[in-house]
Amino acid sequence: MMRKETKKQIMLLVEEYGFQIFVSCRIPRIYEMNVEEVNNYNKEQSDFNLKASRGYNLVSDDYDLDFEDVNEIEFDYSGKYNEVDYCNSGLSENQLFKELSGIFKEINVMKVAQLSDDYLLSEYESQARKMAILEAEKVKRESDPTKTKVGTIHSAKDYFLKQYDQVSCEELHVISLDQMDHVIKDDCVTIGDNDEIERIAAEVVKKATHRNADYVYVVNIQKTASTQTLKKNVEIATKINERLKILDCLMADYAVMVGKDYLSYRMKEIDKAINEEEKTK
């Protein structure tokens, strides 16, 4: 079934190209009319065709004819473009719009074929220029020297090791980023040891929402990396990840930093450290 919006577009093309649409009705033999009624019906039918050709509803309360008694409504159309005649009759509504859709596509192809090579080249060059401008703007945004760019998980590791090299206490940072990997803001949400996993997760989500981040990195700077501490970090990372998903925000990674050691949640390095620690016991 063709969508209503598509039918409206076709009716606009009917008007643009000067096509005509006519509607006819088959009436049962038991429907008796005298001469005056026949004349009135013919007049109404003429108005009916005119309105139908302009896209009005095909059934209206303005007519005395009871359409429940009508066996069938049929459509005819006629039109001409570039010395080519188009016409058909006895069509259902769906057949009418299907045929007209095909005709107007054919006409559009003919119109394009008639365009000069110079015109087509200028249109192509115009589109190429637009694409080049958009690409240049994208490159400019991505290489903006006033913004810090983090990038992938692997490049993020180098960035964070350098960024927090001088931090001497335990801190948890939420780094909010935009779609271009630029840092929007680096927020410290906790200072010192904190066992409240729910509160930490809530604070991270709060910061990411406030910064309107597309995705975030979370870095937990700690003095030691015991099995218990790492397991707690896995719980925090899991909780943050779950909450951010609801907001369509991605947690790119959660990392634990202990001195020069950097353990990634996404790369399973925290889990690996826990397993190795448990094996030595």
Report pLDDT for 60: 38
pTM here? 0.48
- φ, ψ of residue 223 in degrees (nearest 5): -85, -35
Report pLDDT for 204: 92
Rg (CA), the chain: 35
Report pLDDT for 220: 92
What residues contact residue 68 under an 8 Å CB cut-off, 6+ apart?
none
Instruction: Indicate the CATH number for domain 153-279.
Output: 3.40.140.10
Q: Going residue by residue through the chain (281 aa), what tens digit of pLDDT does each one get? A: 677 788 888 988 998 899 999 887 665 544 444 445 444 544 444 444 444 444 434 433 443 444 444 456 888 999 998 888 999 998 988 899 999 999 999 888 887 777 776 766 676 667 776 676 666 655 555 555 456 666 677 778 888 888 888 887 888 999 999 888 888 899 998 776 666 888 888 899 999 999 989 889 999 998 888 888 899 999 999 999 999 988 888 899 999 998 888 999 988 999 998 888 888 76
Report pLDDT for 66: 45
- DSSP, residue by residue, 150-176: --SHHHHHHHHHHHTTT--S-EEEEEE
Report pLDDT for 9: 87
Residue boundaries of the structural domains of the chain: 4-117, 153-279
